[in-house]
Chains A and B, each alone.
Chain A
Amino acid sequence: MELKELFKEGKFVVTSEIGPPKGWQIEKSLEEAEFLRGKVDAINVTDNQSSVMRFGSLATCHFLKDRGFEPVFQITCRDRNRLALQSDILSAAACGIENLLLLTGDHPKLGDHPDAKPVFDLDSVSLIYTVKKLEQGVDLAGNKLEGEAPKFCLGAVVAPCAEPLDPQLFKMEKKINAGAEFFQTQAVYEVDKFAKFMEEVKQNFGTAVPILAGIVVLKSVGMAKFMNENVAGVYVPDNLIEELKKDKEKTKSGQTGVEIAARLIKELKPLCQGIHLMPLGWTDKVPAILSQAGLTS
């Protein structure tokens, strides 16, 4: 079912994501998606994630849709100017892709083509504004579109544990005003901080815009430390790092990461309208996480 409908019904929404391959043979990614069949409401497809050139997000969404999944087309402003962005969004409409996640995108310097031209002709806010225009039957320049206007469910992102939080909230407000209909968050490990963020959201924007808390499965101590050093708005507390350290075999097999993720989901569930899992290649572990969290039988 379409995400929009699920939000309307007030269902606790569960999404996950897959990253397309570095190559054109997409079968493996589609097989990965099979672990999620019947377990999640929608699957995000990342767009050249971390600025690493890969198979396209739009084509992957198309293949997922063909196989009966509900895709969320992630689109960044890093690689396309306003013409290409609008063109791809119209193409998505024709492929029956209804859910978009509109992002600014990482800088190309962080990826495998650091010498590439950073485009950023639009940013996440102006991209949401642009899609809203398309939904009104005109393009960004005001030219009329032929035929029926496309209809989408527009997602955006926010980092709820970022410090300082205020710049995040002001940008979130701009995204809501531009037309964002739901939010997926950066990885959450600090439930208290997330609760405070949700309180701010409630005070400032009410409860009309659903928030899906982001869950990144912890694979190792090194990964946790790397995120603390390098990933904006993410902090893995010491007690979770200790838990990963305690039983090396259990952590290596993924069991610790699954347990932590399931526990976080249980704690976050009363606070928000859904969760978005970012398994980073560990999609096969998603069913165990959801079952331990009590979201699936």
Chain B
Amino acid sequence: MLITELKPKEEVIARTKGKVLLIQCEGCREVFFPAEQVNKFKQELKNSTTITDDITWDYLCNHEYTKIRIENSKQKIMLADSIIIFSCGVGLQVVSNLISKPVFPGCNTLYVNGFQGLTPNQCDCAQCGDCFLNYTASICPITTCSKSLLNGPCGGAKNGKCEVDKEMDCGWEKIYKKLESLGRADILKGVVKLRDYTKVI
């Protein structure tokens, strides 16, 4: 887990549907984790929403560990319609790759000079401070799109590959396909998104 802050509540629950499963990461929390705020927030959620379970694991970013844990908790996970993850962007993306349910971030991952997390990972988090994974099916448009676009594909991809590199998948086509497979393509029709660069400098 990198350094995180709690996302505004309305942003977290804006796109969740039905019964919600909460997963929290405890790995590298000695660095920083907004534990108090998250606990308070979870309590509020429990009062207002049907929560199927509240799980805490460590090192969500560790693909192998997380895969085994998900396998063991399969039945609990199947009960939920949406999953909210309280972790950094890397941990969230690992979970999302392993579960075919809509996954939403509860935290923003903040930029820290010279600190890139503890587990080497294929999923990349730019620590942009304003996590967009809540409307991109947990595929990061900042790290998977060569132009880091926030409002959809640029139209430069050919056969699913990016215009800058025929080996590189178009991040936005992946986002679209995944949302469609989750039956949630509606999420993309939301508001116009703009980057806030004060969060990275």
Contacts and interface: CB of A to CB of B under 8 A. Distances in A.
Interface in B153-180: 153-158, 163-164, 172-173, 176, 180
B176 to A, nearest CB: 5
A202 to B, nearest CB: 18
B99 interface: no
Interface in A168-196: 168, 170-171, 173-174, 178, 186
Given A106-B163, A107-B156, A110-B163, A167 B150 contact: no
Interface size band for A: 20 to 34
B159 to A, nearest CB: 9
A118 B147 contact: yes
Contact of B146 (A118, A121, A231): A118
A233 B173 CA distance: 13
Contacts of A278: none
A232 B158 contact: yes
Interface residues of B, number: 27
A143 interface: no
B151 A107 contact: no
B178 to A, nearest CB: 12
A120 B189 CA distance: 21
Contacts of A140: 194
A129 interface: yes
Contact of B164 (A109, A120, A121): A109
A41 B134 CA distance: 44
A123 B151 contact: yes
B188 interface: yes
A104 B192 contact: no
A14 interface: no
A41 B87 CA distance: 55
Given A121-B195, A122-B194, A107 B147 contact: yes
B189 A168 contact: no
Given A104-B149, A109-B164, A123-B147, A129 B192 contact: yes
Given A122-B194, A167-B173, A107 B155 contact: no
A233 B163 CA distance: 12
A104 B163 CA distance: 13
A170 B158 contact: no
A125 interface: yes
Contacts of A162: 155
A159 interface: yes
Nearest to B155: A159
A125 to B, nearest CB: 4
B40 interface: no
A277 interface: no
A174 B152 contact: yes
A186 B155 contact: yes
B156 to A, nearest CB: 5
Contacts of A86: none
Interface string A105-123: 1110110000000101111
A173 to B, nearest CB: 6
A255 interface: no
A239 interface: no
Contact of B155 (A121, A126, A168, A230): A168
Contacts of B163: 106-107, 110, 232
Contacts of B192: 125-126, 129, 174, 178
Nearest to A132: B192
A129 B149 CA distance: 15
Contact of B154 (A122, A123, A129): A123
Contact of A126 (B154, B172, B194): B194
B185 interface: yes
B148 interface: yes
Contacts of B172: 167
Interface string A11-42: 00000000000000000000000000000000
B100 to A, nearest CB: 20
Contacts of B153: 167-168, 171
Given A167-B172, A232-B158, A107 B164 contact: yes
Contacts of A157: 155
Contacts of B185: 166, 170
Given A104-B149, A167-B173, A233-B155, 17 more contacts: A106-B156, A106-B163, A107-B146, A107-B147, A110-B164, A123-B150, A159-B155, A162-B155, A164-B173, A166-B185, A167-B176, A170-B152, A174-B152, A174-B189, A178-B192, A231-B158, A232-B156
